[in-house]
Amino acid sequence: MQSGPTSETLARRRLLIVDGHAFAYRAFFAIRSLSAPDGSATNAVFGFIRMLTKMQTKLEPTHLAVVWDGGLAPERMALLPEYKAQRPEMPASLELQLDQIVAFLRAANIVSLVHPSYEADDGIAALTRQAMEEGLEVVIASSDKDFMQLVSTGVRLLNPNDKTEALLGAEEIRAKTGVEPTQIVDWLSLIGDAVDNIQGVPGVGLKTAADLLRQFGSIDALYRRIGEVRPERLRMSLQASEKLVRRNQQLVRLNPEAPYEVSLEQLVCKAGDAAALRQLYARWGFKPLLRELEYASPAADLFPETAAAR
């Protein structure tokens, strides 16, 4: 059972942003077989709830949002029609559970955001910018390396694939990649991203890209001083790939101006609707969650309120 926010928590404000599809996929594959009394699959739903509750307990956020992919950004598709084209289709059993996860979020009074023309990445970038402008700490829960570009003094990452559950800040990003968070866009533009079907510069791997950015600072400076690059084979590859690298910068850079019209006040953590949650848990056959809900006193212990919401 999760207790209410501590005095330390209430003294600062923290926004937890969850990459919805990433966590749904992780939950789906982490629990291979689980079904409701009616036979419908519930493995992703149960796993998602468990992971989200665990994060709330660990981080004690005062604000919370789950952001979903709504579609591929037209701007990126215009630059690269094959953008993310190689990704396999979502398993049908998982797709059927997404509406159930959203139903849980609604009953738990957790804001769920989606925009039909934007990827979750851009929505998360927009919420991060908004929260930083209003003085909130931000934790982004996702395994997507693109989010490393958002890390700063007040923004950290929580990678669900990292068993240490460590929050990654600028120091950890430097140790992991060899570059600063502000250089991540250029770093990814040089090495490419096979997951998103983005080709990198031939012959430029993780270390070479980091070495180049440590030497020149940025892609702009690298191409201004391209004659200094050694060996010749690397210089020629970079020269031949400049157009590709410039395109990659536009593909990789997240859009913090994505039009997600939500106020931070709407994201304040509130008590869940115990009756609605009880109904859902019973329908899905989630006996452990039903017991936790019944034993919680008050029921809001599972979904803590902030002082402002009380």
Q: Report whether pLDDT(219) > 80.
A: yes
Q: Report whether pLDDT(161) > 60.
A: yes
The two tokens of residue 83 are 């953008």
Q: Report whether pLDDT(304) > 50.
A: no
Q: What is the mean pLDDT of residues 266-277?
A: 96
Rounded CA-CA distance 17/269 in Å is: 12
Q: Is residue 308 in a domain?
A: no
Q: Is residue 117 in a domain?
A: yes
- Among 83-97, 127-141, 181-195, the range scoring the smallest mean pLDDT is 83-97
Q: Are residues 104 and 217 in the same domain?
A: no
Q: Are residues 15 and 64 in the same domain?
A: yes
Q: Is residue 15 in a domain?
A: yes
Q: Are residues 105 and 160 in the same domain?
A: yes
Q: Are residues 122 and 238 in the same domain?
A: no
- Among 105-114, 233-242, 250-259, the range scoring the smallest mean pLDDT is 250-259
> How many separate domains does the chain show?
2
Whole-number percent of the chain with pLDDT over 90: 78
What pLDDT does 296 receive?
74
Q: What is the CATH number of the domain that holds 60?
A: 3.40.50.1010
What pLDDT does 109 receive?
97
Q: Last residue of a domain, which of 216, 234, 252?
A: 252
Determine the distance from the C-alpha atom of residue 245 to the mean position of all C-alpha atoms in its chain, rounded to a whole number: 24
Q: Are residues 216 and 100 in the same domain?
A: no
The two tokens of residue 239 are 């020269």
Q: Report whether pLDDT(309) > 50.
A: no
Q: Last residue of a domain, which of 218, 237, 252?
A: 252
Q: Are residues 61 and 13 in the same domain?
A: yes
What pLDDT does 298 receive?
46
Q: Where on the phi/psi map is residue 108: left (φ > 0), alpha (ψ -120 to 50), or beta?
A: alpha
Query: In the block, which residue shows the tokens 């997404």?
Result: 98
| pTM for this prediction | 0.89
Distances in whole angstroms, Cα of residue 196 to Cα of each of 99, 137, 221, 308: 25, 29, 26, 41
**Whether the Cβ atoms of residue 83 and residue 72 lie closer than 8 Å to each other:** yes
Higher pLDDT, 32 or 226: 226
Q: Are residues 147 and 284 in the same domain?
A: yes
Q: What is the mean pLDDT of residues 276-292?
A: 96
What pLDDT does 11 receive?
55
Q: Report whether pLDDT(33) > 60.
A: yes
Q: Last residue of a domain, which of 231, 252, 273?
A: 252
- The string of pLDDT tens digits covering residues 206-216 is 999 999 999 99
Whole-number percent of the chain with pLDDT over 70: 92
Rounded CA-CA distance 70/233 in Å is: 42
Q: Report whether pLDDT(142) > 60.
A: yes
Q: What is the CATH number of the domain that holds 229?
A: 1.10.150.20
Q: Are residues 11 and 123 in the same domain?
A: yes
Q: Report whether pLDDT(14) > 70.
A: yes
Q: Is residue 195 in a domain?
A: yes
The mean pLDDT of the chain is 90
Q: How many CA atoms lie within 13 A of 293 on its CB side?
A: 20
Q: Report whether pLDDT(243) > 50.
A: yes
Task: For residue 36, give its domain range.
Answer: 7-170+255-302
Q: Report whether pLDDT(236) > 90.
A: yes
Q: Are residues 55 and 30 in the same domain?
A: yes
- The string of pLDDT tens digits covering residues 69-86 is 987 888 898 988 888 887
| Residue 190 pLDDT grade (very low, low, confident, very high; cuts 50, 70, 90) | very high
Q: Report whether pLDDT(9) > 60.
A: no
Q: Are residues 126 and 237 in the same domain?
A: no
Q: Are residues 222 and 114 in the same domain?
A: no
Q: Is residue 1 in a domain?
A: no
What pLDDT does 170 receive?
97
Q: Is residue 267 in a domain?
A: yes
What pLDDT does 88 receive?
85
Q: Is residue 276 in a domain?
A: yes
What pLDDT does 1 receive?
34
Q: Is residue 176 in a domain?
A: no
Q: Are residues 272 and 132 in the same domain?
A: yes
